[in-house]
Structure 1
Amino acid sequence: MSLTPAFLDELRARTSLSALIGKTTKLTKAGREYKGCCPFHNEKSPSFYVNDDKGFYHCFGCSAHGDAIRWMTDQRGLPFMDAVKELAQAAGMDVPAPDKRSAERAEKAQSLHDVMAAAAEWFRAQLDGIEGAAARALLEKRGISDATKRAFGFGFAPDARGKLRAALKHFGDAMLIEAGLLISVENKEPYDRFRERLMIPIRDQRGRVIAFGGRIIGDGEPKYLNSPDTPLFDKGRTLYNLDRALPAARKADRVFVVEGYMDAIALAQAGIGEVVAPLGTALTEHQLERLWRIADVPTLCFDGDNAGQKAAIRAAHRALPLLAPARSLRFVTLPEGQDPDDLIRAKGAGAFEACVRESTHLVDRLWTHEVAAQALTTPEQRAGFRARMAELAKTIGDPVVRSEYQAEFRRRYDEQFGNQRRSFDRGRPFEPRQPFTPRRPGQKWTPPPPPVTEDAKALHAVGGIDRVLAKAVLAGLIRHPVEIARHMEVLGSLRMADGALGRLFEAVVDVALEDQELDSARLVTILGNSGFEAVARDLLRADRMPYSFTQPTGDVTRAREDLDEAIAILVAGPEVDAALADATVAMQTRFTDEAFERQVALLREKQALELRLANLVQSNEDARAFDSEDD
């Protein structure tokens, strides 16, 4: 079996070397690299370094050096082919089957590199010739210097159907077609793919030409034409200018993503070399993964027009499932109608850097986009907005990051729409309430049992429900008994309140469900006949509870909305407390970054609940001022 250089390069590119070595060797982050004690010799001070960008490890103590395959053969002791097969399986690649043509394919792949190198040289020669005058004028108009022209290998494809074919005829039509340089049409002679275009070589990470982009000279469509996918070129996995951007990115500790070749070239000419571009398509998952191997938070800088901003939000949505702790995106917003090339030529690198300083985080871009998507003045519009944000958060694969986004969305919603008294519910942020099932005549109400979960088991250990808030909710239900049926699926958690409070609650619910047209005065009278008159009237004293739903008069719509919110907080509180208790025990048992992040996230959720409750208070009085002792 003979494996092509292209296959082995792709295998190395798809393998995270630090993750591979980290399975058996403890590594810690050291700038853009990882370090640890060398597994090839005994040492006490770390001298073994792993560089994901360069794809190799090196020990400064014993000089052990290699890539992912070498690690598998030297450290794991596997034969070469076994090492390749194991890495390929982990990377989701198929190892070429052994056959007599393997060597021929390997030779062909190398020959394709020769073809592309020859084509690049021929295009460069045409740019400097008589026919290249219009292309040279275009470069001059775009402000491209001679040094930049040489560095990026600009060329020109004449307006002819067979000049390139004739110049490279020694490679043969079949190879030129496979390289994407000729177009093959049935029953006709192959002809040159690129004609009357400014040619821009596309290189792989090692700097080898693998494809071309061609910009039309004058009018015509498409404006830009890329090579098709070939054995050397996979458009969805390739980033333009990656070979030149990597050293600059390591030095600057940042990387920018722009829309097109000319944007990347203009920024590089202005001294900002850490720039790459996708190739005429939206950013793919493979390209995002490659960017995160360069920088934890790449910065996307798409055009300031409507199409550019749509591309930015598509990239944001595509990134969500791939997020991980410390791994995200930032977004630069350019002046409307401008791209980086326009901005650089008009105002220089300083103007671009000024935009970079105003860049926004991924969460900000998502929030701003959804807020602007439609009016949010009605309850239905706000409900739709909440649903959209919930769905976005659900797409995040990493549970810690997902929890952080859910908490952040809740916090922002409370801040922005607090006057509408709307908020997110923890855990099930936007799920609709279950429909109420009427009881049979004479059937006594039995509250639904709480879910048998670890959180539920821990409720009593952390104090159960908030009795002060429970009193307020019960007073609200007495004031507005028609609301009881709407909350049946969550009111069962109030059964955990013992003593007079729990008994009164069950009596209130039972009486209200017996007569769903019951008003507050009639409910109090019935409760009085059952021996609850004193405690019910005490709960209804308006001066004891500073909530809209406990007052005898006021805006009924607001009171009902506030009661909805109070019930949501009442139910969510024990869940957060229980989860926080578990997280605290986990931290005390064994400290890990994941346990710490979980505890921090839950503390934030608890603070968010407290803020939501404070927002319900009608005056400056403390929501906890009224008596919290059992009646």
Structure 2
Amino acid sequence: MSLSPAFLDELRGRTHLSALVGKTVKLTRAGREMRGCCPFHNEKTPSFYVNDEKGFYHCFGCSAHGDAIRWMTDHQGLPFIDAVKELAAAAGLEVPQADPRAAQKAERAKSLHDVMQAAADWFVSQLGGLDGAEARALLDRRGVSASTQRTFGFGYAPDSRGKLRAALKDFGDAMLVEAGLLIQVDNKEPYDRFRGRLMIPIRDQRGRVIAFGGRIIGEGEPKYLNSPDTPLFDKGRTLYNLDRASAAARKADRVFVVEGYMDAVALAQGGVGEVVAPLGTALTEAQLERLWRMVDVPMVCLDGDGAGQKAAIRAAQRALPMLAPGRSLSFITLPEGQDPDDLMQQGGARAFEALVREAEPLVERLWKHELAAEPLDTPEQRAGLKRRLSDLANTIADPSVKSEYVAEFRHRFDQQFARGRQAGGFQARTPFFPYQQRRAGQKWSPPPAPVTDDAKAVRAAGGIDRVLAKAVLAGLIRHPAEIATHMEVLGSLKLADGALGRLFEAVVDVALEDRSRREGALDSQRLVTILTRSGFEQVASDLLRADTMPYSFTRKTADENKAREDLDEAIAILVSRPEVDAALADATSAMQCHFTDEAFERQVALVNEQRALDVRLANLVQANEDARALGTEDN
């Protein structure tokens, strides 16, 4: 159906947004707007505003934003066209008619929904009959209460090739085959797909039955059998229990991903309703996108056996290209050999919540997996680890997140293998993490003393570190291929006025122009030649002679790969430092105005972030000094 912008604008104009939102959210007048507690996340102080004049709502806590149509899709869970139809009916507008083929398709889908609901009702009736005794016994052994059975619509498919077909004969064989309820091979008689199985209806976000999962009652394969893909059901885009989990996830501001139907049912029965499951396959990109529409960091909680942990790693690797600032995954590790269903039966919600508090960030799960992948006793094996970590980071599309992963993996590697030296031998470098993040209930301990005065001396008092910026420019001129790699990040930097700032802009402009012309690789000499024509000959030449700077990427004789790695790290530090400084200034100001434990912890965390950046910068300098010393000894 094609809806014109004019029609949609009229629909929004005729809809009284505060009245629509006020049906489910308590609103009070706040000047020219209405205010209430946000329905998209938990809060006690209202930060959710509705503006009828402008026709939008906005939450200053979680940034939820939209108009009347968005409200119906995001809060009510309706598909776009259904949201439009419902609003149009309330506003007295007639929705433009779809073309005949689209109308026919919609009518067909409606009929298939009727078929699936009729099948679900019939399966429920069979569970309560004589033939359903074994299925009921299985549910009793699994601890599924009668109330939970009704809530999730459990049923039973008798071990017969034609009972369902006979019960739903009014719909006709063709529609039953299209719905995935019958199997037809060539021109032979169709027969029931699900036989001798506990039946679990799969619903869409609106709660309509679109498919089934069937668990074998006794011995046999496959243990679980799903409906095939149909006009209603796309296995790779659907999540089990999504219809119930959506509202629970908004309230709890979290969502769990478990392996199977019964895991989701067990958690929901135990009071954890914000849980979904993929349908017998690894998490797909479409399912991840659906999860991220619910919360920023879904929690993956797969079985504790080897297969479950492999599935967790596959999910981690599949998520990497799709990461964005603030958007990630975390992972819950279950005891060996247990699944969420086992855990809930043995320890209940308290045992599960204890594991939730120990959830690992995505970067931690990837690091541990690669660290344990193979022995790391030789330089070649450690180089293999570095390559694998680099390959993982390079799959991330977002440049800022990619840069953070590159830096994080590098410093974890350095910390793990204790690189650095002192008089009389080698010692561990200053750790990348000068403080540890606290777990729930852990007491705060003060951070360690700052790093050295030498490390502090290389940063400016505020804003962009001009000393580091000058070194980065020297590195970019010596390694111009790196300009394209960091184009978006470099373009966002705001250097101080003066020759250095103008040269920085010129370097980026030259790389952009060169890339657009596709004239071949931009080398250092060619870049200097182009800059010379723009009046930057002297300053560019001076930077190329900057062997006195304490970084590998400014030295002509440095190892090429190491220099590029260090340049990537220096750019990440150059970009991150002003952001951390600004955040710390705000936190300090907030502390002076109003002291709270939360504000104090925020200030401490930012101080530690500053120190972590100092350590990273000091490590770059130390690595360069080590390389120089080794080079001198070799000579």
TM-score band by shorter chain is: 0.5 to 0.7
The whole-number CA distance in structure 2 between the counterparts of 1:257 and 1:43 is: 32
Encode CA deviations 1:397-441: one digit per residue, 9 max, x unaligned.
Answer: 111111111111122111111248899xxxxxxxxxxxxxxxxxx
**Structure 2 residue aligned with 1:401:** 401
**Structure 2 residue aligned with 1:57:** 71
The whole-number CA distance in structure 2 between the counterparts of 1:221 and 1:125 is: 25
Contact kept, 8 Å, 1:2 with 1:102, in 2: the verdict is: no
The whole-number CA distance in structure 1 between the counterparts of 2:355 and 2:57 is: 46
**Structure 1 residue aligned with 2:244:** 244
Contact kept, 8 Å, 2:201 with 2:213, in 1: the verdict is: yes
The whole-number CA distance in structure 1 between the counterparts of 2:569 and 2:330 is: 36
Matched residue SS, 1:373: coil
Matched residue SS, 1:201: strand
Q: Is structure 2 residue 619 aligned with structure 1 residue 611?
A: yes
Contact kept, 8 Å, 2:238 with 2:287, in 1: the verdict is: yes
Matched residue SS, 2:225: strand
**Structure 2 residue aligned with 1:284:** 284
Contact kept, 8 Å, 2:48 with 2:57, in 1: the verdict is: no
Aligned length: 458
What is the CA distance between 1:41 and its match in structure 2? 4.4
The whole-number CA distance in structure 2 between the counterparts of 1:497 and 1:175 is: 74
Structure 1 pair 41/501, CA: closer, same or farther in 2 (3 Å)? closer
Contact kept, 8 Å, 2:248 with 2:274, in 1: the verdict is: yes
Matched residue SS, 1:176: helix
What is the CA distance between 1:57 and its match in structure 2? 2.7
Matched residue SS, 2:324: coil
Give the counterpart letter for 2:241 in structure 1.
N
**Structure 2 residue aligned with 1:440:** none
**Structure 1 residue aligned with 2:253:** 253
Structure 1 pair 390/259, CA: closer, same or farther in 2 (3 Å)? same
What is the CA distance between 1:241 and its match in structure 2? 0.5
Q: Is structure 2 residue 165 aligned with structure 1 residue 176?
A: no
Give the counterpart letter for 2:70 in structure 1.
F
Matched residue SS, 1:213: strand
Structure 1 pair 56/268, CA: closer, same or farther in 2 (3 Å)? same
**Structure 2 residue aligned with 1:32:** 40
What is the CA distance between 1:381 and its match in structure 2? 0.8
What is the CA distance between 1:377 and its match in structure 2? 1.5
**Structure 1 residue aligned with 2:233:** 233
Contact kept, 8 Å, 2:59 with 2:65, in 1: the verdict is: no
**Structure 2 residue aligned with 1:572:** 567
The whole-number CA distance in structure 1 between the counterparts of 2:180 and 2:547 is: 82
**Structure 1 residue aligned with 2:124:** 124
Q: TM-score, normalised by structure 2?
A: 0.61
Matched residue SS, 2:418: helix
Contact kept, 8 Å, 1:204 with 1:243, in 2: the verdict is: yes
The whole-number CA distance in structure 2 between the counterparts of 1:149 and 1:328 is: 34
Contact kept, 8 Å, 2:58 with 2:65, in 1: the verdict is: no
The whole-number CA distance in structure 2 between the counterparts of 1:271 and 1:148 is: 11
Q: Is structure 2 residue 139 aligned with structure 1 residue 139?
A: yes
The whole-number CA distance in structure 1 between the counterparts of 2:301 and 2:225 is: 22
Gap regions ≥5 residues in structure 2: 4-36, 42-46, 422-427, 430-475, 504-523, 529-539, 550-554, 587-607, 630-635
Matched residue SS, 2:213: strand
Structure 1 pair 400/123, CA: closer, same or farther in 2 (3 Å)? same
User: Which range moves more in the overlay, 413-422 or 246-255?
Assistant: 413-422
Give the counterpart letter for 2:369 in structure 1.
H
Encode CA deviations 1:245-281: one digit per residue, 9 max, x unaligned.
Answer: 1222122111100000000001111111111000000
Structure 1 pair 222/51, CA: closer, same or farther in 2 (3 Å)? farther
Contact kept, 8 Å, 1:117 with 1:209, in 2: the verdict is: yes
Encode CA deviations 1:81-130: one digit per residue, 9 max, x unaligned.
Answer: 99x9xxxxxxxxxxx9x4x4443332221111111111011101111111
Contact kept, 8 Å, 2:183 with 2:192, in 1: the verdict is: yes
**Structure 1 residue aligned with 2:388:** 388
Encode CA deviations 1:529-556: one digit per residue, 9 max, x unaligned.
Answer: xxxxxxxxxxxxxxxxxxxxxxxxxxxx
Structure 1 pair 419/178, CA: closer, same or farther in 2 (3 Å)? same
**Structure 2 residue aligned with 1:111:** 111
Structure 1 pair 212/46, CA: closer, same or farther in 2 (3 Å)? closer
Matched residue SS, 2:149: helix
Contact kept, 8 Å, 1:414 with 1:612, in 2: the verdict is: no
Structure 1 pair 319/105, CA: closer, same or farther in 2 (3 Å)? same
Q: Is structure 2 residue 314 aligned with structure 1 residue 314?
A: yes
State how 1:362-381 maps to structure 2 within 5 Å: 362-381=362-381
Contact kept, 8 Å, 1:569 with 1:609, in 2: the verdict is: no
What is the CA distance between 1:342 and its match in structure 2? 1.1
User: Which range moves more in the overlay, 249-258 or 344-353?
Assistant: 344-353
Encode CA deviations 1:508-543: one digit per residue, 9 max, x unaligned.
Answer: 99xxx9xxxxxxxxxxxxxxxxxxxxxxxxxxxxxx
Structure 1 pair 364/169, CA: closer, same or farther in 2 (3 Å)? same
**Structure 2 residue aligned with 1:190:** 190
Matched residue SS, 2:478: coil
Contact kept, 8 Å, 2:404 with 2:572, in 1: the verdict is: no
Contact kept, 8 Å, 1:576 with 1:602, in 2: the verdict is: no
The whole-number CA distance in structure 2 between the counterparts of 1:113 and 1:312 is: 33
What is the CA distance between 1:378 and its match in structure 2? 1.0
Contact kept, 8 Å, 1:57 with 1:67, in 2: the verdict is: no
The whole-number CA distance in structure 1 between the counterparts of 2:610 and 2:307 is: 39
**Structure 1 residue aligned with 2:15:** none
**Structure 1 residue aligned with 2:33:** none
The whole-number CA distance in structure 1 between the counterparts of 2:572 and 2:59 is: 42
The whole-number CA distance in structure 2 between the counterparts of 1:574 and 1:316 is: 24
The whole-number CA distance in structure 1 between the counterparts of 2:69 and 2:564 is: 50
What is the CA distance between 1:450 and its match in structure 2? 2.8
Contact kept, 8 Å, 2:78 with 2:206, in 1: the verdict is: no
The whole-number CA distance in structure 2 between the counterparts of 1:282 and 1:138 is: 27
The whole-number CA distance in structure 1 between the counterparts of 2:363 and 2:547 is: 47
Encode CA deviations 1:490-515: one digit per residue, 9 max, x unaligned.
Answer: xx99974769979xxxxx99xxx9xx
The whole-number CA distance in structure 1 between the counterparts of 2:314 and 2:258 is: 14
Gap regions ≥5 residues in structure 1: 4-28, 59-64, 85-95, 424-447, 465-487, 503-507, 514-562, 592-599, 624-631
Give the counterpart letter for 1:38 in structure 2.
N
The whole-number CA distance in structure 2 between the counterparts of 1:2 and 1:501 is: 65
Structure 1 pair 146/297, CA: closer, same or farther in 2 (3 Å)? same
State how 1:496-535 maps to structure 2 within 5 Å: 496=543
Encode CA deviations 1:265-308: one digit per residue, 9 max, x unaligned.
Answer: 01111111111000000001111111111111110000001100
Contact kept, 8 Å, 1:2 with 1:103, in 2: the verdict is: no
**Structure 2 residue aligned with 1:518:** none
Contact kept, 8 Å, 1:109 with 1:231, in 2: the verdict is: yes
Structure 1 pair 394/196, CA: closer, same or farther in 2 (3 Å)? same
What is the CA distance between 1:571 and its match in structure 2? 6.8
Matched residue SS, 2:214: strand
What is the CA distance between 1:188 and its match in structure 2? 1.1
Give the counterpart letter for 1:380 in structure 2.
E
Structure 1 pair 612/194, CA: closer, same or farther in 2 (3 Å)? same
Matched residue SS, 1:202: strand
Matched residue SS, 2:198: strand
**Structure 2 residue aligned with 1:323:** 323
Of 454, 463, 478, 1:450 maps to 478
What is the CA distance between 1:32 and its match in structure 2? 2.6
The whole-number CA distance in structure 2 between the counterparts of 1:449 and 1:41 is: 50
Matched residue SS, 1:418: coil
Encode CA deviations 1:546-589: one digit per residue, 9 max, x unaligned.
Answer: xxxxxxxxxxxxxxxxx8699849973996499559979xx9xx
Contact kept, 8 Å, 1:418 with 1:615, in 2: the verdict is: no
Larger Rg: 1
Structure 1 pair 133/410, CA: closer, same or farther in 2 (3 Å)? same
Matched residue SS, 2:294: coil
Structure 1 pair 251/385, CA: closer, same or farther in 2 (3 Å)? same
**Structure 1 residue aligned with 2:439:** none
Q: Is structure 2 residue 296 aligned with structure 1 residue 296?
A: yes
What is the CA distance between 1:55 and its match in structure 2? 6.8
The whole-number CA distance in structure 2 between the counterparts of 1:615 and 1:500 is: 15
**Structure 1 residue aligned with 2:204:** 204
Structure 1 pair 384/420, CA: closer, same or farther in 2 (3 Å)? farther
